[in-house]
Each structure stands twice: as C-alpha cells, then as structure tokens.
Amino acid sequence: MLDRPKRIIVARTDRIGDVVLSLPVFASLKKCFPDSELTALVSSYASAVVSSSSSVDRTIAISPGESIRSISRRMRQANADSIVMLFPRFRLSLASVLAGIPTRVGTAYRWYSFLFNLKVHEHRKDSTKSEAEYNLALARALGCNEIVLDTHLDIDSGSLLRVKEFLDKNKVGRFVVVHPGSGGSAHEWGAEHYRSLTRAITGELGLTALITGTSSEEELCTKMSDGISRTLNTAGKFSLLEFIALLSEAETFVSNSTGPLHLAASVGIPVIGIYPNTAPMTPVRWAPLTDRKVILTPEDGSDDLSSISVNEVMQSITRLISVKAQ
C-alpha cells in the first residue's frame, strides 16, 4: 500500500491541447489528496494554462533546450515524493531519478520505462478513448480513483480588462472566434472554407468575426479578413492569458482540432471542432471535454476535411448560439 502522497509533480510538456486534457488529473488528485501540493511541470509556452487552474498549486515551466541537470535541480527543489509522467520524455524521466523522487509513475512500453517504479500497461496508439482518460489511468496508479473530468480555467482579471478595452476600442459587439490555423498539429479545413465561413458569419448572422492565431499565422489570418466587413484579424495581438480571456467573451468558437479549441471549451463557451477520422487524430481521443460542442468529421470516414461544407458549420453555429441565448 502506497503512503498518501503529499507533494506530487504532474508532468505534461507538450502542446496546449494536451495540457488542457491533463487538467482532470490535477482535479482528481486534488479531490483524492486534498492536503497534497500539486506541481505542474509544463513547457514555458503552456504555463499560462496551468496557472489558470485552481487545482494547480505550483508550476515548473521548462524551456525546450533546458538541460537534464537543470530540470533535475528544479524537481529536487519541489521536494516531491511522487511524479506522474502523463506523456513521458526520456530527459524528464531521467531527471526525476536524479532528483531522487521516490515514486515515479509512467507507461510501461518505452525503452526507458525501467526508470519508473509504477508502470501503467496501456497503449495509446489505437485511440479508443479520450486522452484525458489515458491520463487518468496514470493518476489511478497513485491510488486515486476519484475521477473529476474538469478542465475549467479561471479568467485572469487584468487580462480580461485589457481584452474588454480592445473590444470597446474596436467597437466589437457580439462575436464569433474563427481560428483557421493549427500550428501544424492537425489536419486543416482550408483557407477558402474559413474565408467563406467568415463572410457567412458577418453577412448572414450579423456578428463580428474575430480571426485568431499566433504571430506566425498572421498571413493566414489576413486572408480570412481582408475585404470582409465586421471582421478583425487579431493574430499575435494577445498573450495566452489574454487569449483565454478573449475566448470567454465570445458567442462560440470554430477551429480545426487544435489547442485553442480546448481552451475555449474550458472557459465555458460552445465550440465547433473540425476533425479527421483516422486514429490517432480521431475526436474519440481528442474532442474537448464539454457537452457544449459540435464535432464535424467527413461522413465517408475519410480524412478529407474539404467534404465538410460551410453550410454545415453555419448550421452548427446557429444552433449553438440559439442554445446559449436560452
């Protein structure tokens, strides 16, 4: 029988959507072990996500090139008695051993799995359930069987104030967020589809379309907005905390399968996700954890997202906005 852990590191150092789908682990561990201190070990890029979760007590944000020695030192400073590797990486796994963390949870099928002393025998490649459920299997290895499927994010008050000032300055009323890029992490619906959708949102619904993306996606976002009235290109204009605050003010959100879709769901707005069918990209694994969603996939079972019509997406927007208004 394991002793009740008092200081737990939960490591998930990949992309934003992956980190959002790890939040149920923090919520579940906090319910199981309410007196424990939970530290999130994440990439510096995604640290704002866990800082917005009330279940996370501390954050260790690591940079892409940070050395094993540096990571180990920072783990040791957390004085953790347990670490849960939700998506193991060799350097993190080795660092946890060098840091002297007594209980190390990880998957059983990697060449470096000998570094873990609690192993979970489960493959993810078939994508038969949600990524959140795969993550929770590792929490159960610590003796936590209280499952809380919660990804709720709190809104930073300062960021929300700046967002509202931006919206007022640009005379933005009710708006839909359209996020056409994916940062290379997913199949994309395509620029022409998103541009047609933007025209329909502004023309048929009379709403403003806010086009969002990173600074590297500015050219793509410009294609969505140029020459279309009531459309605003905001690519690269917001920090991650500000972007989360912006999403909380939207009527709904439309994107490919990408991290911002999960952020939008986590602040409580209805979302529309456009997904391929093939594992491991299937929505069975990667759909956001919310009841307020529409997931669209090619009806023929393929990954050809171009077969999803603008009209289908518009019908979904209309339905979600109608439900929100009730």
Q: How far does Cα 51 stand from its chain's mean position?
A: 13
Joined together, the tokens standing for residue 307 give 């077969």
Task: Check residue 322 and give its pLDDT.
Answer: 79
Single pTM value for the model: 0.95
Task: Check residue 184 and give its pLDDT.
Answer: 72
Buried b (16+ CB within 10 A) or exposed e, 261-292: bbbbbbbebbbbbbbbbeeebbbbbbbbbbee
Mean pLDDT, residues 34-44 taken together: 97
Task: Check residue 280 and give its pLDDT.
Answer: 87
Closest to 88 in 3D by CA, of 124, 39, 51, 130? 124
C-alpha–C-alpha distance, residues 20 and 260, integer Å: 10
Residue pLDDT, tens place only, 208-246? 999 999 999 998 899 888 899 999 999 999 999 999 999
C-alpha–C-alpha distance, residues 151 and 16, integer Å: 12
Complete domains list, the chain, with CATH: 7-140 (3.40.50.2000), 157-325 (3.40.50.2000)
Task: Check residue 199 and give its pLDDT.
Answer: 96
For residue 69, the one-letter residue type is R
Facing residues of 11 across strands? 41, 85
**Whether residue 1 has pLDDT greater than 50:** no
Task: Check residue 144 and give its pLDDT.
Answer: 94
Joined together, the tokens standing for residue 8 give 């737990």
Residue with the bigger pLDDT between 3 and 288: it is: 288
Separation in Å, CA 141 to CA 19, 83, 297, 310:
19, 11, 34, 45
Residue 236 region by backbone torsions, left for phi larger than 0, else alpha for psi between -120 and 50, else beta: left
Residue pLDDT, tens place only, 266-313? 999 999 999 999 988 999 999 999 999 999 999 999 999 999 999 999
Q: How far does Cα 287 stand from its chain's mean position?
A: 10
Mean pLDDT, residues 321-326 taken together: 65
Task: Check residue 3 and give its pLDDT.
Answer: 78
Residue pLDDT, tens place only, 170-201? 999 999 999 998 877 678 898 999 999 999 99
Q: How far does Cα 59 stand from its chain's mean position?
A: 17
Closest to 242 in 3D by CA, of 164, 313, 143, 175? 164
Mean pLDDT, residues 26-53 taken together: 97
User: Following DSSP, what letter does each residue of 3-72 receive, concatenated?
Assistant: PPPSEEEEE--S-HHHHHTTHHHHHHHHHHSTTSEEEEEEEGGGHHHHHT-TT--EEEEE-TT--HHHHH
Residue pLDDT, tens place only, 21-37? 999 999 999 999 999 99
Residue pLDDT, tens place only, 98-147? 999 999 999 999 999 999 999 999 988 888 999 999 999 999 999 999 89
- What's the half-sphere exposure (Cβ side, CA atoms, 13 Å) at 169? 7
**Whether residue 325 has pLDDT greater than 60:** no
Band the pLDDT of 326: cuts 50, 70, 90.
Answer: very low
